Structure 1
Amino acid sequence: MKLLLEIKDDKADFFMELLKNLPFVKAQSVLSDKQQLSAELSEAVENLKLVMDGKMKAKPIDELINEL
C-alpha cells in the first residue's frame, strides 16, 4: 500500500528518520520541482555560509566543472 502524507517542514526530518527505522516501511520523500529547487538552493546557501565562516572547505573549480 502507498500513502501520501503531508508533514510540517520542521518535523519532516524526524518523521523520515522514524520511518526509515521501521523494517517493514520503505520511505521516500516526494517533492514538487519547486520544492526541490528551493531545498537545493537552501542547502547551497548554507554550504556557502559554512565555507565563508571557514567551517567547510570549498571544492576547486576544476572539480565542480568535472561534475557537470
Structure 2
Amino acid sequence: MKVMLDIKDSKAGFVMGLLQRLPFVKAKPLSKFQAKVLEDVGDAVNEMHLIKKGRLAAKDAEDLFREL
C-alpha cells in the first residue's frame, strides 16, 4: 500500500527518521514539484469521477484551450 503524508517541514526529519527505522516501510521524500504534480493529478482524477457521475459539468475543449 502506498500512502502520501503531508508533514510540516519542521517535523519532516523526525517523521522520516521514524519511518526509515521500520524494516517493512520504504520512505523517500518528494520534491515540492513532485508533490504538486501528484496533488494536481489527484484533483484531475476526482474531477473526472464527478463528471462521470453527473455531479460536475464537463468543460468544452475550446474553453480549455482558451484557458491555456
TM-score (structure 2 length as normaliser): 0.55
- Consecutive unaligned residues of structure 2, counting only runs of 5 or more, are 1-7, 13-30
Size of the alignment, in residue pairs?
43
Q: Report the structure number with the largest CA radius of gyration.
A: 2
Deviations 1:12-51 (A, max 9, x none): xxxxxxxxxxxxxxxxxxx700000000000000000000
TM-score (structure 1 length as normaliser): 0.55
**Whole-Å separation in 2 of the counterparts to 1:66 and 1:59:** 11
Correspondence 1:43 to 2:43 = yes
Q: CA RMSD in A?
A: 2.1
**What is the correspondence of 1:11-30 to structure 2 with a 5 Å cutoff?**
none
SS in 1 for 2:54: coil
Return closer, same or farther for 1:52/1:32 CA change in 2, 3 Å cut-off: same
| Residue of structure 2 in register with 1:20 after alignment | none
The Cα shift of 1:5 comes to: 3.9
Return closer, same or farther for 1:52/1:6 CA change in 2, 3 Å cut-off: farther
Question: Aligned letter for 2:46?
Answer: E
The Cα shift of 1:6 comes to: 4.7
- Consecutive unaligned residues of structure 1, counting only runs of 5 or more, are 8-30
**Whole-Å separation in 2 of the counterparts to 1:57 and 1:41:** 19
